[in-house]
Structure 1
Amino acid sequence: MLAEALRMLEHAGMIDHSGHASILSAEGRILINDAVAPKRRVGPADLVEIDADGALLAGSGRPPLEFHIHTEIYRRRPEVRAIIHLHPRWSTLLTMVGAAFQPVFAQGALLGDVPVFDDPMSISTRAMGEALAACLGPGSAVLMKSHGATVVAEDLTACFALAAYLEENAERQVEAMRIGQPFVFDAAQRVTIRQRLHTPALFRKTWDHYLARLG
């Protein structure tokens, strides 16, 4: 399922040669894609298992340089069981010009407040991973200035769906900003949307939509 998610993310243009996704087992083992396998054809053999400190437990590949994103968020957020670090075009454009992420379509409101991590460098140390996790706080996503985004959730299906909503909302926001001031859902509307739409059924529908696009 993790390999499938990576292929869908690449096909949709949300992840490139350097993105990664992980899931956390009940035993505390982190399953993550290796550092070199092309995402378009990633399979089970291209996944590795690491522990909470990034040490290789299983698999023949090398964990991604930014494994600290995953280890530090899992350490801080015990309810999180899936993490995706992506390099999405539209979401990253917002950070390049200092424009705040604003929910301009319903699913975008499911992400809640989306902070920006104000350091464009790779998350290549534990200290940087800790800083990113602190910036994320209790939220579902954090944008990373001129770099990308990280999305977290209670399972991989929800995490994938939220990543898709983040990028689709950002695309609509950027395009709307070209012609005027976008409509933004207010606080009360956002609460209602989260109550109605934050459901496994919607997340699965989104997953199935992107899976079908793989052909």
Structure 2
Amino acid sequence: MDEQPATTEFDDVDRQALVDALRMLEHAEMIDHSGHASVRRKGRILINDAVAPKRRLTMANLVEMDLEGQPIAGAGRPPLEFHIHTEIYRRRPDVGAVIHLHPRWSTLLTSVGVPYRPVFAQGALLGDIPVYDDPMSINTQEAGSALALTLGNAPAILLKAHGATVVAEDLVTCFALAAYLEENASRQVGAMAIGTPFVFDDSQQARVRERLSSMSLFRKTWDHYFARLT
């Protein structure tokens, strides 16, 4: 009897969006050879495989796995740090997308112990970002659980001298927040080189969240980066 293909919770729209997100992150130099992104549907996770170059990524390079990290469909294997995704999804039922990236400027902040501070409007959407103090790879369930616990209910976490992880209800929002995180960090580092950065106060941050936290603006950010691919 012929083996039946595994059922899937993800359609081609889901798959292409994840491919696009990863290619945009690579093109913007926010992700490198070992970054990864995922989306969740009903206890299943769609994630890029461990080896395919992001610039040449296609839907064939995606892997579907369960919350234990066991592959369900796809030819490749999940990245070694899949525990970042599984443990966050386990603790955060509100999260539908996770991006783990290795961005230059926000990683520089953690390398010298400087806290992230909102120095431009969109950067304030991330609020106070916790820092995971262990720079090693998150390649065990224990490390993934510790990271998820440190993340708490925040939309992002910085990993000391390692990178960052951003979460959101959907992929478009998650991508936009990742872009805002790194743009804010680049401006913060640049401003620190010439003086003391202006930092949005609590009242200003609240107004930013009221006015700029919208799907139409997140989609505008997505479309801006997508247009740069062509």
1:100 aligns with 2:115: yes
Partner residue, 2:97: 82
Partner residue, 1:18: 34
Partner residue, 2:25: 9
Give the secondary structure class of the aligned counterpart of 2:32. Answer: coil
Counting only pairs closer than 5 Å after superposition, residues 195-210 of structure 1 correspond to structure 2 as 195-210=210-225
**CA-CA distance at 1:112 after TM superposition:** 1.0
Which residue identity lines up with residue 48 of structure 2 in the other structure?
A: N
Counting only pairs closer than 5 Å after superposition, residues 92-171 of structure 1 correspond to structure 2 as 92-171=107-186
**CA-CA distance at 1:28 after TM superposition:** 1.1
Give the secondary structure class of the aligned counterpart of 1:170. Answer: helix
Deviations 1:133-178 (A, max 9, x none): 0111100000000000000001000000000000000000000000
Q: 1:41, 1:155 → 2: CA distance? A: 23
Partner residue, 2:3: none
1:37 aligns with 2:52: yes
Give the secondary structure class of the aligned counterpart of 2:43. Answer: coil
CA-based RMSD: 0.4
Q: 1:209, 1:124 → 2: CA distance? A: 33
Q: 1:80, 1:106 → 2: CA distance? A: 23
Q: 2:206, 2:69 → 1: CA distance? A: 37
Partner residue, 2:13: none
Give the secondary structure class of the aligned counterpart of 2:99. Answer: strand
**CA-CA distance at 1:41 after TM superposition:** 1.1
Q: 2:154, 2:57 → 1: CA distance? A: 29
Q: 1:57, 1:196 → 2: CA distance? A: 41
Give the secondary structure class of the aligned counterpart of 1:22. Answer: strand
What stretches of structure 1 move > 2 A for 4+ residues in a row?
none
Aligned length: 214
Partner residue, 2:11: none
Q: 1:126, 1:189 → 2: CA distance? A: 38
Q: 1:126, 1:175 → 2: CA distance? A: 36
Give 5+ residue unaligned stretches, structure 2. 1-16
Give 2:87's match in structure 1, choosing from 72, 94, 99.
Answer: 72
Identity %: 71
Deviating more after overlay: 98-107 vs 187-196? 187-196
Higher Cα radius of gyration: 2
Give 5+ residue unaligned stretches, structure 1. none
Give the secondary structure class of the aligned counterpart of 2:119. Answer: coil
TM-score by length of 1: 0.99
